[in-house]
Chains A and B, each alone.
Chain A
């Protein structure tokens, strides 16, 4: 199965190890992974700030980059959500591009969604003895409907004890430019989220979106909490390597 990695600009620039984990895991499960080098960003920062014309041109670049791909997999529910939820709208007045966008929407998946729904695997044969908690990201949950997939993948990890995160479905306060533009509101939200994470007593916080995780990690760091923050793919890869 041929899969193109949609790295997202955030993971590309800030968290290359997350992209690497996704690639290695997909490779281990029989996918032939490529990296369309023309990709940059999905356009979400501009779109969510109201700059739809600017977002459209960045989206056009994304569509060109992935036009030939069979499957497109990304370590972010938010960026995948942008493609799914807003690309057809962005090109509403350009039928040719709209059709391209709609065709790509059907092939674009968030990482856990792809593994569970397309590869049909829930047990990635990983072992990770630790106590962890999981923060479900808003856009994966609400734009893509990906709720169960990450949980199921984690349930199969040997030795990983999951502690329920109180108020888990509350946003962490990231929201892209919101974190800077409305920094006071964002701060209040991330402080509460960090407190809930700390209250679980978990050693590890797991998530599926680096935006949210960068935000919560940033707060935990500021408070000096020694909680390791990991993307789901990192947990699964490290766990799979341990079991070998």
Chain B
């Protein structure tokens, strides 16, 4: 991997200090960059193979997009249908408009059952509301049972990828963490490490008062919760503890089982390159009289937290179509180099860069994420429901400009750009002047060092010196030559 010099304290930056610092930290971490590039490559190639064997991927993709569009366009209807069915099945529904409401809803359930220990399946929404932190504050212990999440809990870190939370860690780092936890040496071998975690977690499943999971898709027509997983911890968490709490974003629905079938074809293929995950669980209500296992109580916490603000927005409503497969992260060249933590948000990669400022309704700080993209469009190409993330990033930048949240020099520069590039006479004057401004900087046709902000370029690249004659300066000569040539040929 190419070494990047960072640690340049005097370096001036055009972006907010938070994002700049996190980017520098990530780029200086060779382990992280190798680990992220290795795993995203694997996932990316897996996706391409899994796409190939299902027929015309574009038809599937369009079907997936249409299902999501229908769901989100009629979200009020499907949410009511879903909630009614959950209740009819014997479950409880808690609609929560803010993160704190969801935390309170969970704490209420926990208090009712005098809960001390919570076994968690993977849930990004629980990360979004910082649930573990709140549980700790209220004297409860939350145990992450997803292997990746468990690793991060030991490391006291947050996920850096939607589906591979510990993507930034390599095997040795995980072995070190487990060794510290175990109190004896564990080898850096997948099998040994997984066995250690499995043994340790098994007891938690049995002892937990509450099992908490996310939800991949709620099925409106039946009030069912579907969960896709590969480790089997989801099954344990949803069957062993007496209470099962589901926490989900309000957009995470499909109308029917037919729709679910399409989404369950798109999701694992896009996420891990699997045709099917090891487990697909469908949970419809709590344990019935004749059921052999299952929780006695089922609660579904449905969270808004900035999502409904996107409904009806001609540009951004589509962001709610996301199915959290992380295909956009795996193909993103920015994510590849900086990993998830640089985004400073629970949701990282292109979807995180769009979603975070929107749901936090914060264009100032979180809005800086809109610039964490070269607008290459790989995210849109990979998205199984065709969300135009690259366009959305540009529109977020526009929001920032409209809210006057960009710097004065930048605003002035683009005003000048409009003024000069909007009319050819001024364009010619401006570009000629640029030649004389750049000339003192050039050596043998190249500029090796330029002042800020161009130094951002020249620190790592040379810039060609502008030739004295532009194309338009040469045009009449070229035109005459070609005309003459034509006559000769005739």
Contacts and interface: CB of A to CB of B under 8 A. Distances in A.
Contacts of B401: 49-52
Interface string A175-211: 1101111111111111110010000000000000000
B456 A183 contact: yes
A243 to B, nearest CB: 17
A84 interface: no
Contacts of A48: 375, 394, 397
Given A13-B466, A14-B467, A222-B461, A20 B482 contact: no
Nearest to A221: B462
B338 interface: yes
Contacts of B14: 180-183
Interface in A217-235: 217-219, 221-222
Interface stretch (A111-119, A124-132, A135-143, A155-163): A135-143
Contact of B418 (A58, A142, A185): A58
Interface stretch (B115-123, B130-138, B243-251, B472-480): B472-480
Interface string A14-57: 10100110011001000001010111110101111111111101
Contact of B399 (A38, A50, A182, A192): A50
B372 A185 contact: yes
Interface in B1-22: 1-2, 4, 6, 14-15, 20
B337 A189 contact: yes
A192 B460 CA distance: 12
Among A57, A58, A143, the most chain B Cβ lie within 10 Å of the Cβ of A58
A173 B461 CA distance: 12
Given A13-B470, A50-B398, A183-B457, A57 B422 contact: yes
Among A16, A184, A221, the most chain B Cβ lie within 10 Å of the Cβ of A184
A45 B422 CA distance: 13
**Secondary structure of the B contact surface, majority rule:** helix
B461 A180 contact: no
A215 interface: yes
Interface stretch (B252-260, B264-272, B423-431): B423-431
Contact of A192 (B2, B15, B378, B398): B2
Nearest to B398: A50
A179 B23 CA distance: 14
A148 interface: no
Which size bracket describes the interface of B in this complex? 35 or more
Interface string B366-379: 00001111111110
A70 interface: no
Nearest to B380: A142
B155 interface: no
B281 to A, nearest CB: 36
Contacts of B23: 182, 184-185
Interface residues of A, number: 71
B359 interface: no
Interface in B329-352: 333-334, 336-338
A171 interface: yes
B421 A61 contact: yes
A139 B377 contact: yes
A7 B473 CA distance: 12
B414 A49 contact: yes
Contacts, number: 214
Among B417, B466, B474, the most chain A Cβ lie within 10 Å of the Cβ of B417
A144 to B, nearest CB: 11
A192 B473 CA distance: 37
B453 A12 contact: no
B400 to A, nearest CB: 6
B482 A23 contact: yes
B192 interface: no
Nearest to A218: B461
Contacts of B310: none
A35 B424 contact: no
A16 B415 contact: no
Given A49-B397, A54-B414, A186-B374, A180 B457 contact: yes
Nearest to B396: A50
B446 interface: yes
B371 A222 contact: no
Contacts of A138: 374-378
Contacts of A217: 462, 464
Given A47-B394, A50-B397, A61 B424 contact: yes
Nearest to A143: B377
Contacts of A164: none
Contact of A173 (B33, B333, B421, B464): B333
Contact of B474 (A14, A20, A215): A20
B24 interface: yes
A11 interface: yes
A240 interface: no
B471 A189 contact: no
Among B27, B421, B427, B461, the most chain A Cβ lie within 10 Å of the Cβ of B461
B207 interface: no
A138 B479 CA distance: 32
Nearest to A194: B2
A142 B4 contact: no
B415 A188 contact: no
Contact of A16 (B380, B410, B470): B470
A141 B411 CA distance: 31
Given A183-B459, A188-B27, A27 B397 contact: no
Contact of B424 (A38, A43, A51, A184): A38
Contact of A222 (B1, B20, B374, B462): B462
Counting from the closest, the 3 A-B pairs by CB-CB distance are A50-B397, A175-B374, A183-B456
25 contacts: A9-B421, A14-B464, A20-B471, A20-B474, A35-B471, A38-B424, A40-B427, A41-B427, A50-B396, A50-B399, A50-B400, A51-B417, A54-B414, A142-B380, A173-B333, A178-B374, A181-B456, A183-B457, A185-B334, A185-B338, A188-B27, A192-B1, A218-B461, A218-B463, A221-B446
Given A171-B374, A184-B27, 18 more contacts: A9-B427, A12-B471, A13-B470, A19-B471, A35-B479, A40-B421, A40-B422, A40-B427, A41-B421, A41-B427, A51-B401, A57-B418, A138-B378, A178-B371, A178-B374, A182-B23, A182-B334, A185-B23
Interface of A: 7, 9, 11-14, 16, 19-20, 23-24, 27, 33, 35, 37-41, 43, 45-55, 57-58, 60-61, 65, 138-139, 141-143, 169-171, 173-176, 178-192, 195, 214-215, 217-219, 221-222
